[in-house]
Structure 1
């Protein structure tokens, strides 16, 4: 069962247990949705098929079932935050807009009391913050990661503004987990973290004073997503895949194997050639590989290295580098 299915079932069951669900028709719509969901390859199709629900029911189900489900698939990740107050303002901004999943990676300080000062009456949410010792572990189950960056980088990143980025992100959140990755308050995301991202967003601001507080940046991004979710047209999804979309951990394993192979055949010879891996990541991030496709790619590159061994060719070795994440 996919995370999306679990979230939908949880949201429906939670809704049916509330006072709002006492309306017979609303209960009926939820039950039909629950029954028919497993028969179609995507929940959005249930809401765009007029033979299943009248317009009023589609609006009701989208607002009460699909929006909470989609938003629950979006995870905010803070990479090395320095001040617990900013963790609290981030959590408060998320709660304001209906987001609940917060992860922090190697915080400089993790003072629960100071977090609670900025996010009052949020004891359960503070307890629910997930903490990780590395970025790789924080993103292990994520299907798509977008990095928030304020600076123009030398690398050839395609950067969007928050508003036009919302529709693609909501569409991806309807298929799997999406991470919004924010960096340190003073320096943002390092290149080693940006390399792990599939997309990039920058918040336009006054160039003479463009530095945003971490909580402000999070609020702007989740606010735009919240607004877009309320008014999003229901696009017909892609055809059903036979295999789940590959998550971050699976893709990172593939990228590591590709890089080792390219060093092995001496396609990459120096540290300055590592930019080729960024291009390779960009290519694959646009294709949304599934688990089977990742296994095929890994099998190909494994066979390349095995072939070198069978021919008695000593493969090239990568030059050691510092690993920050």
Structure 2
């Protein structure tokens, strides 16, 4: 029983691969290394360097490794940059997903877990986002992820495809010292890099209608997230009925100020963040319920904020050793 993980050399994808191996499920990785790292792929895991846009390669990989399903993590994941590069974003995320589905159809593979995003919701005007919250993406990235969900649903109606999509918010931490978030846009690596270089991290806006005036967001440890992908894959392989979409959320969230305070405590680098103006379009609070995923996928958050920061810091330090 082998699964193909597209984007399996990236930060999230590599943790998904690790979770599959921990569950003793066979896995093969396909990644073009545009943002991933070949060294993230464990020894003994077959690795195919290719873009998901190369349908023939994807189909051949599925055939050669007798794959029964796909965890589709590959994609262009930078929401802000997607506004400047919409055509690139749609090519990677929409055309790329079409290519994966076409390859699956050719190879007779009928199960897929799709890495979606909370960006599909845009700026929801509710205290707690659920799967029933209307979608209103506000970037080409968010739009492309929503279209990906539509593609799965349409192909499911037209064929025997079994599928589910996992929407998540801010993914942080590390599940292994050799795996870390190298994104130039995410909060955790930005703050930790600033501290490591002796610079002072920055908070954008301290006058939001939240308990401490800073934005409140959902943060999920990457290892918990990876486990959800494995649970979903197992359920699909067993023929269990799943919802088309699940949120992976904390239910309460944490503020940017709380993160900064925790960063200082864990790293033992005392600092007072500089304060800048709000960034346009930043909502005060976005927090999601994970109740449906807990019910159907037996999913739980097992890492505290301190552990999220500590594992991210340890992985960052290990990379520089």
TM-score bracket, normalised by the shorter chain, equals under 0.3
Q: Which has the larger radius of gyration?
A: 1
Q: TM-score, normalised by structure 2?
A: 0.26
Q: TM-score, normalised by structure 1?
A: 0.26
1 or 2, which has the higher helix percentage? 1
1 or 2, which has the higher strand percentage? 2
